[in-house]
Chain A
Amino acid sequence: MTPLFALLWDTLDDRLKLRAPGRKVANKVFPHHWSFLLGEIALISFVILVLTGIFLTMFYRPSIDPVVYSGANELFGGRRLPAAFESIVRLTYDVPGGLLFRRIHRAAAHLFIATVILHLLRIILTGAFRKPREINYHLGVVLLLLAFALGFTGYSLPYDALAGTGIRIAYTELLSTPYIGDRLAFWIFGGEFPTGDVIPRFFVFHVLLLPGLIIGAISAHLGLVARQRHTQFPRVGIDGHRWIVGKPLWPSQFAESATLLLWVGGVLVASAVLVPWADIVLQGPYRPGEVGNNAQPDWYLFWLEGALRLFPPIEFSVLGMTVSGPFFAGAVMPTLVIALLVVYPFVERRVYGLEGEWHVLQNPLDIPLRAAFLIGTFGFLLLLSAGATNDILSRLWGVPIETLTWVFRILALVGPPLGAVGIFAYSKRRLAAKGQTVASVER
């Protein structure tokens, strides 16, 4: 330590008594595996989102009032544009570094959501959600939903043609709620679509409310990991339910996290140089009554988009309410999927009569129900997502869109149950062949 640092440290330590707790933290043993980095990459992406987002917020104007753009871009020069869109154009073409930060922000958003989803998959695949970690798992589900909301509101802010179409569909989803749909939609949008309130409100959600909630939830999430300690993969000769095996926070884990931060940052910046992540403004501002040909949300909402496309034409009135396809596809189905995620840990515990606490990770094939749950649920979501590309596939393959839609309808209904039953039977046989039962695989 340089003398200056030593002096600073001594001064602080003298007043705050940091040595004993500092040593405890530095000596904390953290199990090591590449899949444990997924959550960390999600965290890093979020940090990068906040940093780049602060820069963007300096320029963004949350309003759809028309203003005349007078910057350097020729396509939009002298045109009247919604202020939000105009500020994005200005940021892109007239603010040095603006486009770079916009692209990094978009790239980090994709990486954030992708790694949150992969992190969730690793939690389920390895059984890290089991007692005593159910609370953190449920907190994770909340974080997943917040991440989706953060992504969607961000996607909406430029108020370009794609954003406007997405907002319109979200408004329809709210409207479709039985009995209170119209009220709900008017409360959130401030009136009938498209109101001047929607962009200012989405702005508040995107830069204040949702990030605040996410920061709070991440803090609790990491606090729980620290309190309950991390799970680990089995290791010969060591009872992982009693002992944590890993590397100390200082210096191993610190070195790893610091490099990960710098490398993820570097890769995101490099991708922003190579990939025009954020250049969709070229499609022009949103105008009511106009839509482009490729109206599509970001990839992580494809499952909802696919459900909207594949759900059969249904609309009926009962008990004074109108129930329509978008309500099933956009509200009932996602609620069921999330409910399934929420209850699964309890179901597994119940079905196999498991008791006690679990700290050692597993192969999902050792737990037939879990394998079936994974294949069924995520197979369904993937097939729905594929359904969201039916127009593109139709053009690409030259197959009529009607045929493709029917193929996806049938696949999404039949495929996941078949896959689930198949993997269930397979893992059961596999266990039996090893002479094991679910309760004994921990040995």
Chain B
Amino acid sequence: MTDGTAPGSRQPETTPVADEIGDLRVIARDDPPPSGANDLIVMGAASGAILGGIGFAVGLLAGAPLGFYGAALAVGLLSLGVAVRRWITDRFPDIDAVELRPGPEPSGPIADVAPVPRRSFLGRFLAVAAGVLGLGLIAPVVSLGPAPGDALRRTAWRRGSRLVTTDGQPLSPADLSPGGVVTVWPEGAIGDETAAVILLRLSGEPVDPTNGDWVVDSTVVAYSKICTHAGCPVGLFREQDDALFCPCHQSTFDAQRGAIPTFGPTARALPQLPLGVDDEGNLVALGDFTEQVGPAFG
């Protein structure tokens, strides 16, 4: 430490130098003894590297299994490491040296050409100008995506949309046996994430706050499949207590009671799809969801 602010009091100022090699201040030096064994190690390891390199290239080109040419490459790299290390440690003394840490800086200005006096206002104005120009350059960010509008509040479900499976099959209530569960989409929008719906036949009749008008055949209900926590698909249905379960963070929903959350990190029920049956007996939506689907947004 070079100024008076050094922490605590230090050891006496000894210069720990023992010896000098050129510009190096050496405090310990260990010369490798001549060793025939070392030459053997270097030779052996270097040969291993050669074999590894050849094994890798030939194995890869000849279509050998990954285990073969991968192992060859690993052996080649590891052996070359041994060879390089042994070669250097046998050729050079091992040296401990010291060096002074950088001292205090010389005083004086960083540049010798100083400005002549002018109004300081101009400099500030220039800074403001550069700032405004810089801020203006942020504008293209807006081109990166469309304005959200009400995109997050609507889904592809419309009045009369038929419920179809991922294969495009329409469904009637009779297709669902007790405990039956199937992922459905609005016809024409298969794979449209926010429209994913899970259609269930419950083991008992649903109660409040399930909307009874949207229950078909007394036990068939449909809920949004997008978890209201962070948007994973609510994939699992536990039949014995009609629970829907999200595999991502374990939010659990009671499908008999309007899919309200009973455990886990989500605070909101899965929205219920207005469900009905059309003249041909197919399950259809009576309209879009009336609540926001998926996670909350700022």
Secondary structure type dominating chain B contacts: loop
Is A242 a contact of B13 with CB atoms below 8 Å? yes
Given known A239-B11, A241-B101, A329-B265, contact A272–B80 (CB-CB < 8 A): no
Contact A171 B99 (CB under 8 A): no
Q: Which of B130-172 contact A (CB under 8 A)?
A: 141-142, 144-148, 151-152, 166
> For A171, what are the chain B residues with a Cβ–Cβ distance below 8 Å?
231
Assembly CA distance A258 to B85 (angstroms): 8
Q: Which one of B23, B66, B146, B263 lies within 8 Å of A186 (CB-CB)?
A: B146
Q: Closest B-chain residue to A245, C-beta based? A: B98
Query: A36-78: which have CB < 8 Å to B?
Result: none
User: B7 contacts A354, CB within 8 Å?
Assistant: yes
In the bound complex, CA of A390 to CA of B250 (Å): 9
Comparing A1-9, A310-318, A417-425, the segment that makes contact with chain B is: A310-318
Chain A proximity of B37: nearest CB distance (Å): 18
Known contacts: A29-B97, A190-B145, A266-B81. The answer to whether A439 contacts B8 by CB under 8 A is: yes
Given the interface contacts A290-B233, A291-B232, does A27 sit within 8 Å of B298 by beta carbon? Answer: no
A150 vs B295: C-alpha distance when bound (angstroms):
26
Q: How large is the interface on B (under 10, 10 to 19, 20 to 34, 35 or more residues)?
A: 35 or more
The complex places the Cα of A429 from the Cα of B296 at a distance, in Å, of 49
Evaluate contact between A27 and B22: CB separation under 8 angstroms: yes
Q: Is the CB of B265 within 8 A of A269?
A: no
Q: CB within 8 A of B247: which of A287, A292, A357?
A: A292
Q: Is the CB of A326 within 8 A of B295?
A: yes
- Which residues of chain A from 186 to 245 have any CB-CB distance to chain B below 8 Å in the complex? 186-194, 197, 228-229, 237-239, 241-245
- Whether A270 and B6, one on each chain, are in contact in the complex, defined by CB atoms closer than 8 angstroms, is no
Residue among B7, B11, B78, B146 with max Cβ neighbours from chain A (10 Å)? B7
Residues A269 and B101 in contact, CB atoms below 8 Å apart: no
Q: Are B70 and A269 in contact (CB under 8 A)?
A: yes
Interchain CA distance A180-B147 in the complex, whole Å: 11
Known contacts A192-B152, A229-B101, A289-B191; is A187 also within 8 Å of B229 by CB?
no
A384 to chain B, nearest CB (A): 13
B192 at the interface (CB under 8 A from A): yes
A382 at the interface (CB under 8 A from B): no
The chain A residue sitting closest to B142, CB to CB, is: A187
Q: How far is the CA of A247 from the CA of B93 in the complex (A)?
A: 11
B88 neighbours in A (Cβ, 8 Å): 251, 254-255, 258
Docked complex Cα distance between A241 and B11 (Å): 10
A293 to B246, CA, bound (A): 9
- Cβ contact of A175, chosen from B81, B94, B142, B295, cutoff 8 A: B295
Q: Which A residues touch B183, using CB under 8 A?
A: 289-290
Closest A residue to B146 by beta carbon equals A191
Please tell me if B193 contacts chain A, counting CB pairs below 8 Å. Answer: yes
- What residues of B have a CB within 8 angstroms of the CB of A245 in the complex? 16, 27, 96-98
- List residues of chain B with CB within 8 A of the CB of A244: 98-101
Interface residues of B in 107-150 (CB under 8 A from A): 141-142, 144-148
A270 CB contacts on chain B under 8 angstroms: 70-71, 74, 78
Cβ-closest chain B residue relative to A193: B193
- Tell me if A79 counts as interface (CB < 8 A to partner B): no
Q: How far is the CA of A439 from the CA of B9 in the complex (A)?
A: 10
Residues of B within 8 Å of A193, CB to CB, are: 193, 231
| Contact A309 to B11, CB < 8 A, known contacts A191-B145, A244-B101 | no
Tell yes or no: B89 within 8 A of A by CB.
yes
What's the Cα separation between A273 and B81 when bound, in Å? 19
* A19 within 8 Å of B (CB atoms): no
In the bound complex, how far is the Cα of B295 from the Cα of A185, in angstroms?
Answer: 13
Q: Does A324 contact B (CB under 8 A)?
A: yes
Q: Mark A172-191, 1 if CB is under 8 A from B, else 0.
A: 11011111111101111111
Chain B residues contacting A284 (CB-CB under 8 Å) are none
Q: A27-B24, A255-B89, A321-B298 are in contact. Are A169 and B230 (CB under 8 A)?
A: yes
Q: Which of A185, A308, A321, A323 touches B230 (beta carbons < 8 Å)?
A: A308
Min CB gap A437→B, angstroms:
9
Q: Check B1 against A356 for contact (C-beta < 8 Å).
A: yes
Interchain Cβ contacts within 8 Å, total number: 291
Q: Mask for B238-278, Cβ within 8 A of A = 1, else 0? A: 00000000011111000000000101111110000000000
B194 touches A192 (CB 8 A): yes
Enumerate B4-33 residues with CB–CB distance to A below 8 Å: 5-11, 13-14, 16, 22-24, 27
* Residues in A neighbouring B82, C-beta threshold 8 A: 259
Confirm or deny: A398 has a beta carbon within 8 angstroms of a beta carbon on chain B.
Answer: no
How distant is the Cα of A28 from the Cα of B95 in the complex, in angstroms?
12
B151 touches A291 (CB 8 A): no
Within 8 A of B (CB), among A396-440: 401-402, 405, 439-440
Residue B102 at the A interface, CB < 8 A? yes
Q: Which of A239, A263, A265, A309 contacts B249 (CB 8 A)?
A: A309
Contact A262 B78 (CB under 8 A): yes
A291 — which chain B residues lie within 8 A by C-beta? 232-233, 235, 247-248
C-alpha gap A239/B7 in the complex (Å): 12
Interface status of A325 (Cβ within 8 A of chain B): yes
0 or 1 for each of A376-390: is its CB under 8 Å from B? (1 = yes): 000000000000001
Pairwise interchain contact A325-B1, C-beta atoms closer than 8 A = no
Query: Is the CB–CB distance between A238 and B98 below 8 Å?
Result: yes
Chain B residues whose CB sits within 8 angstroms of the CB of A163 once the complex forms = none
* Residue from A172, A262, A273 in contact with B84 in the complex, judged by beta carbons closer than 8 Å: A262
CB-defined A-B contacts under 8 Å, sample of 20: A23-B23, A29-B98, A29-B99, A176-B295, A180-B298, A183-B145, A192-B152, A239-B13, A246-B96, A252-B94, A262-B84, A266-B75, A269-B77, A273-B71, A287-B191, A290-B183, A291-B232, A291-B248, A359-B101, A391-B247
Interchain residue pairs A-B with the least CB separation, the first 7: A181-B298, A262-B81, A266-B77, A186-B145, A266-B78, A289-B196, A288-B193
Q: What is the interface of chain A, defined by CB distance below 8 A to chain B?
A: 23-24, 27-29, 96-97, 99-100, 165, 168-169, 171-173, 175-183, 185-194, 197, 228-229, 237-239, 241-248, 251-252, 254-255, 258-259, 261-263, 265-267, 269-270, 272-273, 287-295, 305, 308-315, 321-327, 329-330, 354-359, 390-391, 401-402, 405, 439-443
Which residues of B come within 8 Å of A, CB atoms? Answer: 1-3, 5-11, 13-14, 16, 22-24, 27, 60-61, 63, 66-67, 69-71, 73-78, 80-82, 84-85, 88-89, 91-92, 94-102, 141-142, 144-148, 151-152, 166, 183, 185, 191-194, 196, 225, 229-233, 235-236, 247-251, 261, 263-268, 294-298
Other than A183-B147, A358-B7, A440-B8, give 10 A-B pairs with Cβ distance below 8 A.
A190-B145, A244-B101, A289-B166, A308-B230, A311-B265, A313-B251, A322-B297, A322-B298, A356-B3, A443-B8
